[in-house]
A and B are shown apart, each in its own frame.
Chain A
Amino acid sequence: MTRKSSDDFSKVETPSEIISRLEDGMTIGIGGWATRRKPMALVREILKSNLKDFTLVSYGGPDVGLLCASGKVKKLIFAFVSLDHYPLDPHFRAARQSGKIEVWELDEGMLHWGLRAAAMNLPFLPTRIGIGTDIINQPSFEFIDSPYEDGETFVAMPAINLDAALIHVHRSDVKGNILIMSPDPFFDELFSRAATNTYASVEKIVATPELDMEANARFAILERARITAVAETPYGAHPTSATPDYHLDLNHIKSYVESAETPEAWEAYKANYLYGTQANYVDAVGGADAIGAIAKPVY
């Protein structure tokens, strides 16, 4: 990392510095989608901490499974938890079936709408989604009649305000100008705009000119004022993908799934992958070259 000039401020922190800013009981949103571009290095850092009782908001993948298996989650706000090629995450299933976590289960679009309401500083946004289903029989939903001629009754989807959003991005500079270069940015922008603070793990921190902003403007989905801190964590999304830099590691997902089979397997997984630094982790999963060589999976 280079500093362009002495005037530049820097938001660069280590993953542990970022995680030390979180507090017990916070509502935390995690970007990405299922097995794609999850800020896993930051999630692993949470696992090493004493933090607890989070309300977690996620389009869920192994981020949710790991945090549930480690007892960090009090309540989950979600529409699904899936590992795509392994449709069901066994760690999430075990936690859900044990009754140890509270859930507020939403439709994917309602979760989007709740984050958007928060992003717009609105208390709610109206939607028809949920009508006719058991979703709206859960607590925390109110209804509202259209004040216009149609008079239709809508679900008032409440804002989902986040204390913190964790996202994984491809590039940033030290000031927090970020680029998400994946084919699909998912809803990371809304997670950030719904949050008081956004923390980004970054594949590579570069000098501002190297962002090549004119060419890459469409990948700059957030302004730097939204970003509280950035941490350089190469391969920080592994085992999920950060296309185009690297793809989903299906072999590792298999190990992750198998780690739920017995308490011994889970202890072994933790010892192998969850106690060290991000650099230790990259070595443990085969090294940078091996991650870089993973073939693009077929969905």
Chain B
Amino acid sequence: MTDYNCSLAELIINACAEAWRDDGELMATGIGPLPRLGASLAKVSFNPLLQITDGETYYADAPVPPGKRHKEPVFEGYANYDRVFSTLWSGRRHSMVSPVQLDRFGQANISTIGDRAAPKVAMLGARGFPGNSICHPNSFFIPNHSTRSFVENEVDFVCMAGYNTERYMNGKPPKGLDLRIIVSDLCVMDFNGPEKSIRVVSLHPGVSFEQVQENTGFELKKAFETLPLTPAPSDAHMALFETLDPNNVRASVLKNNPPAIGN
């Protein structure tokens, strides 16, 4: 039996890191503290080739901790926006993002909820999501797994393309469309079901498939008849968290920072 002597946030970071395991040398972008720490963990453990920025303009030699800086980072490269566009258009990037809505096709929304002319909620705008989604691999972190985030129908405004044949140009999927994994506070999923449908790959400890399905607006597949537990971070990974996140930002992301088990 695995020892889950970690927080749910640490379990999630460990699961996020897996997104970049086999990517080789490319730009790894984790938006938000847990995906960012996931990319950082991947870089300092199993994929040192990853290129990670300081969150602003430069690639850093080692991952830059979120929050207060305890030492000045050493920079190894330049990542101004023009260069980031060139990089992402080439496909040499894998992002993990947290959209407000995600649907069964993997289509994602961060723009508006409700009527387009006078929306109930206006958020950021599409940002780089449309281009990202058809140029390079993308994964997702959804901190509140619910039917509000995993919506029943299509998302209100499709900012990221997904595996929706109705929206394909001339019947072909957009050239670089490549959706990888979804990590939530309940489970890990991927897009390897029939016709790229979403399936549950592992359950976080204490969570049942039925609970995941109840909190999802569309039907989920199972990767295995008996779903495994999401692996706990190894002792080595637990030790790395102290270096990657000395400000313990990871404890402030999920409400009350629950443990990985017994919540």
Name the B residues within 8 Å of A135 (CB-CB): 126, 130, 159
A123 CB-CB contact with B under 8 Å: no
Flag if B121 contacts A133 (CB, 8 Å).
Answer: no
The total of Cβ contacts below 8 Å across the A-B interface reads 126
Flag if B80 contacts A184 (CB, 8 Å).
Answer: yes
Flag if B120 contacts A97 (CB, 8 Å).
Answer: yes
A20 CB-CB contact with B under 8 Å: no
Instruction: Pick from A4-12, A100-108, A197-205, A224-232 the stretch touching chain B.
Output: A100-108
Name which residue of chain A comes closest to B173, CB basis. A132
Cβ-defined partner of B67 (8 Å) among A33, A132, A184, A298: A298
Flag if B56 contacts A82 (CB, 8 Å).
Answer: no
User: A129-B131, A133-B161, A134-B157 given as contacts; is B175 within 8 A of A88 (CB)?
Assistant: no
B218 CB-CB contact with A under 8 Å: no
A185 CB-CB contact with B under 8 Å: yes
Name which residue of chain B comes closest to A135, CB basis. B130
Cβ-defined partner of A108 (8 Å) among B111, B117, B131, B176: B131
Q: How large is the interface on A (under 10, 10 to 19, 20 to 34, 35 or more residues)?
A: 35 or more
Shortest beta-carbon distance from A204 to chain B in Å: 23
B99 CB-CB contact with A under 8 Å: no
Using a CB–CB cutoff of 8 Å, the interface residues on chain B facing chain A are: 54-58, 67-69, 80-82, 85, 88-89, 107, 111-112, 117-131, 133-135, 157-162, 164, 167-170, 173-177
Task: Give bound CA distance, A153 to B169, whole Å.
Answer: 7
Task: Give bound CA distance, A106 to B128, whole Å.
Answer: 9
User: A132-B168, A185-B80, A187-B82 given as contacts; is B123 within 8 A of A88 (CB)?
Assistant: yes
> Could you give, for residues 178-222 of chain A, a 1 whenever the CB lies within 8 Å of some chain B CB and a 0 otherwise?
000001111100000000000000000000000000000000000
Chain A stretch 36-80: residues in CB contact (< 8 A) with chain B: 60, 78-80
Flag if A105 contacts B126 (CB, 8 Å).
Answer: yes
A131 CB-CB contact with B under 8 Å: yes
Flag if B168 contacts A80 (CB, 8 Å).
Answer: no
Flag if B157 contacts A132 (CB, 8 Å).
Answer: no
Task: Give bound CA distance, A98 to B189, whole Å.
Answer: 38
Q: Shortest 3 CB-CB distances between A and B: which pairs? A: A132-B161, A99-B118, A80-B125
